[in-house]
């Protein structure tokens, strides 16, 4: 059982001992710290915070604890109840709220939950804000409201529909082209809120939808991370239904993966590539993804005359870089699409609308679309080191060894070679170096990773 406190929020397994797991006591302390932070940052008479959750089993319990804690601080709550992460982000903007909290552990299994924290722009808090909230969560000086100053809870269950309206209002989304394509699509909502939101969106787009695991019970039927090894059921159903494609989302609907008409994975890394290809064709410009994302985005960006930029890993870092370079689209290779004309957050609903517009206009099969992009293959490995070893020194040595190559050290060490790349990142909690590689074949990607592991072991003397 685990409790992880970080600058991005608090995440842990339900039950067990306070301070060691995500218990009601921990949820209340952290919610109070966030409420205090919001009141300190925005000096005014009344404050409002938007709250939503995915469908996991502990969500309703945690939501009640968090909302009532904020009420006790004199903060008004806008309760979206079952929702998605991007829906809460949009609601914060539209409500002109002071912040937002999503109760979700994203792709983690059902025993996990978390508090994801947003600022008044509906964007994830930066490192400085996260550190301040962590500090406040350990404080005994938190102040609550007197009885006449308690907050109120206002329920609003319309925001998924409002979110869909916002997506369909985007100029770049061609609703009529999608309707004319008469797509048949299988949706795996992993029994969470994607099972509500994605079919509603597809219905508005005139899609014949086949639902798989779309009942928001919180009982995940498979590992909720949308990776190939977890998605055998939808791959088979796409073939059985003779569907045009399959759509898979994680429990809080910020990650998106596609299955082609043959039942094969489109490739989670290629979700962003395909959406960027369409957006850049309509609106040329720059793109951003994190250092561990596929080189294919760079290739597509250059094809359209734009410039590709890499950020440190983490959505907040991608967003910061996107704003800095005024990128027209960006995201993460895990299936996260960030389209600034909607909002600065990963959004599977936006991704679905962009992808289907692209597919409908090209009038080709999903497998044909995938074959139009460069094929890269990734390897993701790790090496465990003893606590006594200086991981930073090891990474510095590696960077110096490859100084004649293209080296980026904003987040670990990434080395770009002509035909492949290697990205080394240290864990913040364990003596581990994670090794990510990409090449033109899986065998080559694995070989490059193994060679780098051997080099690290030699430097470390192990």
Class of the CATH domain delimited by 377-460: alpha beta
What pLDDT shows up at residue 371?
97
| 47-51 average pLDDT score | 98
Closest to 289 in 3D by CA, of 344, 327, 330? 330
12 Cβ neighbours under 8 A, 6+ residues apart? 1, 2, 3, 4, 21, 22, 26, 112, 113, 114
What pLDDT shows up at residue 427?
76
CB 81 within 8 A of CB 53: yes
Out of 83, 106, 137, 192, the active site residue is 106
pLDDT at residue 397 is higher than 70? yes
pLDDT tier at 76, thresholds 50, 70, 90: very high
pLDDT at residue 430 is higher than 80? no
| pTM, rounded to two decimals | 0.94
Q: How far apart are CA 332 and CA 318, in angstroms?
A: 8
Closest to 218 in 3D by CA, of 247, 249, 195? 195
User: Which range (138-142, 192-196, 423-427) has the least confidence?
Assistant: 138-142
Exposed e or buried b per residue across 37-60, where buried means at least 16 C-beta atoms within 10 angstroms of its C-beta: bbbeeeeeeebbbbbbbbbbebbe
Mean residue pLDDT of the chain comes to 95
pLDDT tier at 315, thresholds 50, 70, 90: very high
pLDDT at residue 338 is higher than 80? yes
pLDDT at residue 8 is higher than 70? no
Q: How far apart are CA 27 and CA 112, in angstroms?
A: 13
Q: Which residue has the tokens 């780098």?
A: 452
In CATH, which superfamily holds the domain spanning 3-157?
Answer: Alpha-D-Glucose-1,6-Bisphosphate, subunit A, domain 3 (3.40.120.10)
What pLDDT shows up at residue 209?
98
Q: Which residues pair with 200 in a beta bridge?
A: none
**Burial bucket for residue 261 (CB in 10 Å: 0-12, 13-18, 19+):** middle
pLDDT at residue 426 is higher than 90? no
pLDDT at residue 1 is higher than 60? no
Q: What is the CA radius of gyration of the chain?
A: 22
What pLDDT shows up at residue 7?
65
For this structure, is 106 an active site residue?
Answer: yes
Q: What is the pLDDT of residues 78-90, one digit of tens each?
A: 999 999 999 999 9
Q: What interhelical angle do 268-282 and 348-362 show, nearest 10?
A: 70
CA 300 to chain centroid, in Å, comes to 22
CA 6 to chain centroid, in Å, comes to 16
CATH 3.30.310.50 domain position(s) in the chain: 377-460
Q: What interhelical angle do 348-362 and 194-204 show, nearest 10?
A: 30
Architecture of domain 163-371: 3-Layer(aba) Sandwich (3.40)
Q: What is the pLDDT of residues 97-133, one digit of tens each?
A: 999 999 999 989 999 999 999 999 999 999 899 999 9
What pLDDT shows up at residue 388?
83
* % of the chain beyond a pLDDT of 70: 98
Strand spans (E) along 170-223: 184-188, 208-212
| 127-146 average pLDDT score | 90
Q: How far apart are CA 56 and CA 272, in angstroms?
A: 27
| 161-185 average pLDDT score | 98
95: tokens are 């409500």
Q: Which residue has the tokens 């903007």?
A: 93
What pLDDT shows up at residue 6?
72
CATH 3.40.120.10 domain position(s) in the chain: 3-157, 163-371
């Amino acid at each position: 059982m685990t409790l992880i406190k970080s600058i991005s929020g608090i995440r842990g397994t339900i039950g067990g001992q306070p301070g060691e797991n995500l218990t009601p006591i921990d949820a209340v302390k952290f919610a109070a710290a966030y409420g205090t932070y919001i009141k300190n940052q925005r000096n005014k008479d009344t404050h409002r915070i938007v709250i939503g959750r995915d469908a996991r089993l502990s969500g309703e319990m945690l939501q009640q604890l968090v909302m009532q804690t904020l009420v006790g601080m004199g903060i008004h709550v806008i309760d979206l109840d079952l929702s998605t992460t991007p829906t809460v982000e949009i609601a914060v903007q539209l409500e002109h709220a002071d912040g937002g909290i999503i109760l979700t552990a994203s792709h983690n299994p059902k025993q996990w939950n978390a508090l994801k924290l947003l600022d008044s722009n509906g964007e994830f808090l930066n490192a400085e804000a996260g550190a301040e909230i962590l500090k406040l969560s350990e404080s005994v000086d938190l102040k609550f409201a007197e009885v006449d100053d308690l907050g109120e809870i206002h329920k609003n269950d319309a925001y998924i529909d409002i979110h869909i309206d916002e997506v369909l209002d985007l100029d770049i989304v061609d609703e009529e082209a999608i309707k004319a394509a008469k797509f048949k699509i299988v949706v795996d909502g992993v029994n969470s809120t994607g099972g509500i939101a994605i079919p509603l969106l597809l219905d508005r787009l005139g899609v014949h939808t086949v639902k798989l695991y779309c009942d928001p019970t919180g009982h995940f039927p498979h590992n909720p991370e949308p990776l190939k090894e977890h998605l055998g059921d939808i791959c088979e159903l796409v073939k059985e239904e003779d569907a045009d494609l399959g759509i898979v989302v994680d429990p809080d609907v910020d990650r998106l993966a596609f299955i082609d008409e043959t039942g094969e994975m489109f490739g989670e890394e290629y979700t962003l590539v395909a959406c960027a290809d369409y957006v850049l064709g309509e609106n040329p410009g720059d793109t951003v993804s994190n250092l561990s994302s596929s080189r294919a985005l760079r290739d597509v960006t250059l094809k359209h005359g734009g410039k590709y930029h890499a950020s440190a890993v983490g959505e907040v870092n991608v967003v910061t870089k996107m704003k800095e370079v005024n990128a027209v689209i960006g995201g993460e290779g895990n299936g996260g699409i960030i389209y600034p004309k909607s909002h600065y957050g990963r959004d599977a609903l936006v991704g679905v609308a962009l992808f289907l517009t692209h597919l409908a206009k090209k009038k080709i099969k999903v497998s044909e679309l995938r074959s139009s992009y460069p094929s890269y293959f990734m390897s993701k490995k790790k090496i465990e080191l003893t606590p006594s070893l200086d991981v930073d020194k090891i990474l510095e040595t590696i960077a110096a060894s490859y100084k004649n190559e293209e080296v980026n050290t904003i987040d670990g060490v990434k080395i770009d070679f002509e035909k492949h790349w290697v990205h080394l990142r240290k864990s913040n909690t364990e003596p581990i170096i994670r090794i990510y590689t990409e090449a033109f074949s899986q065998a080559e990607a694995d070989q490059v990773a193994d060679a780098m592991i051997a080099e690290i072991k030699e430097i470390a003397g192990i």
